[in-house]
A and B are shown apart, each in its own frame.
Chain A
Amino acid sequence: MIDIKNVNKKFGKLHVLKDISVQIKKSNSVALLGPNASGKTTFIKCLLGMLIPDSGTIEINNQSIKGDYKYRNIIGYMPQIGRYPQNMTIEQVFDMILEIRKTALSSADTELMEAFGLKALFSKRMGTLSGGTTQKVSACLAFLFSPEIIILDEPTAGLDPLSSEILKEKIKHERSKGKIILITSHILSELDEMVSEIMYLREGNLVFHSGIEELQSRTGEKSVSKVITSILKTL
């Protein structure tokens, strides 16, 4: 469970997160939506400990994350832009992260890796890979350790339709296992079936956070994109 209370973050004069309080319970898949510069990535980075909030507390499974790094053992993260050292091979990248996580490849979740056919490219240098393949590597790294919490920042941007379908299937599959999934995306139509809750940020404020069914009954619409547009009209 993720419990966030009154988190504020400022970059100089810019107030990026304004008093955000959210609770995300197990087995929930949350879509983190909002226009550009609304604080989505900042929110994710606070969860990951990459940014230290100015005030407020973040607790994961009832434990404050402040000053800790071991809690990240249960988090898988796929960044928006993945860039790796040019001369490192895919295998070396995996090997390195496996060591940090103290896991052997044999006991890791390689389902996605096999679906993407990355094993065949293991000896390729990261510098020679296309943007999409690099994105696949990032996606595999996020799922490799069967984490309890999976954070995906624009996961399907740059992936071809087939691969993004594979990734979406994997996300649904993991959600059915009771994991917490946090996705940011600008492509609302792909979020149907993937998410159970929607969090909407605007200019650092949490506009709403509620279950998808509730939103559907409130607006009378079915798909995520229609739900969002009709809510935004009423605001």
Chain B
Amino acid sequence: MNKIVKYVTIDILKSKVVLTYLLFLFLTCFGIFNLDNNTTKGILSLLNIVLFIVPLVSLIYSTIYIFNSGEFIELLVAQPISRKKLITSIYAAVSLSLVTAFIVGAGIPVLIYSPDKIGLLFIITGALLTLIFTSLAFLGSVITRDKAKGIGMAIFIWLFFSILYDGILLLIMFQFSDYPIEKLIIVLSSFNPVDISRILILIHTDYSALMGYSGALFKEFLGSQKGSVVIFAILIAWIIIPAIAAIRKFIKKDF
């Protein structure tokens, strides 16, 4: 680990925003697990919160951090270091600190109350979501020069994946309810990292039985080992593709 990664990670972990985020996750987890004795139910309630909060914080915080470090990044660009190494170091540092905050804040309580496969799956998914939305934030902030535009874009990405996308899916489901569109819905859902994470955890709980026919179909398609591999491959592609695009753009960027 080079010193850019080390010191930027320390810098972010010391910031009040990240500490608040960590504390919020920690208290929410304990709160929810204490409300109900059924830990699976607890995980599902947490899932709904985490799927909202983790993308939001990862996107907005990373975007603001990159824009606020503009002059610092400029100074580093003028140093004898390749731009590729520079941007990957900063990406590594931002994602490392946000993943650390998530694992400490949510991981510890989840492992205490639900030390099983579901709990572990929950933590891995949360960490992957953090990486995905940090990648997207990097791409957004490398493309735009204007801070307000960058933050606007981050909010839009969050709104799109958390709310708009599901709305569009529901619309399709209602409009074409007379047709066998279950497979289409599975394919469309897999393009949204938030949806696919939700499905991944749901199909590993008993609650998937409550979702009726489509739940059964989901379980058949994605619940198998092959299905899980496909889901993880999709999630990892969501990390790598925006990150590579951001690196490429950064190498050619004018400062």
Contacts and interface: CB of A to CB of B under 8 A. Distances in A.
B80 A100 contact: yes
Contacts of A121: none
A63 B72 CA distance: 27
A78 B70 CA distance: 15
B11 interface: yes
B3 A50 contact: no
Interface in A4-32: 11
A82 B75 contact: yes
A11 to B, nearest CB: 8
Interface in B172-206: none
A70 interface: yes
Interface string A103-143: 00000000000000000000000000000000000100100
Given A87-B15, A88-B7, A50 B78 contact: yes
B79 interface: yes
B90 to A, nearest CB: 10
Interface string B237-255: 0000000000000001011
A81 B3 CA distance: 23
Contacts of A70: 80
Nearest to A79: B75
A51 B10 CA distance: 30
Contact of A85 (B72, B83, B254): B72
A191 B167 CA distance: 65
A97 B81 CA distance: 10
B71 A81 contact: yes
Contacts, number: 80
Given A50-B74, A81-B71, A101 B80 contact: yes
A48 interface: yes
B144 to A, nearest CB: 15
A96 B255 contact: no
A101 B79 contact: yes
A101 B79 CA distance: 8
B79 A95 contact: no
A51 B255 contact: yes
Given A69-B81, A92-B7, A100-B80, A45 B255 contact: yes
A73 B80 contact: yes
A97 B79 CA distance: 8
A86 B15 contact: yes
Given A85-B69, A85-B72, A50 B77 contact: yes
Contact of A69 (B12, B70, B82, B254): B82
B4 interface: yes
Interface string B5-33: 00110111011000000000000000000
Nearest to B81: A100
A83 B83 CA distance: 19
Contact of B78 (A79, A81, A85): A79
Contacts of A72: 78-80
Given A50-B254, A79-B75, A85-B72, 9 more contacts: A48-B78, A50-B74, A50-B78, A83-B69, A85-B8, A86-B15, A95-B7, A96-B3, A101-B79
27 contacts: A45-B255, A49-B77, A50-B77, A51-B254, A52-B252, A69-B80, A73-B80, A75-B78, A77-B75, A79-B74, A79-B75, A79-B78, A83-B69, A85-B8, A86-B15, A87-B11, A87-B15, A88-B8, A88-B10, A88-B11, A92-B7, A95-B7, A99-B2, A100-B3, A100-B79, A100-B80, A101-B79
Interface of A: 11, 45, 48-52, 69-73, 75, 77, 79, 81-88, 92-93, 95-97, 99-101, 138, 141
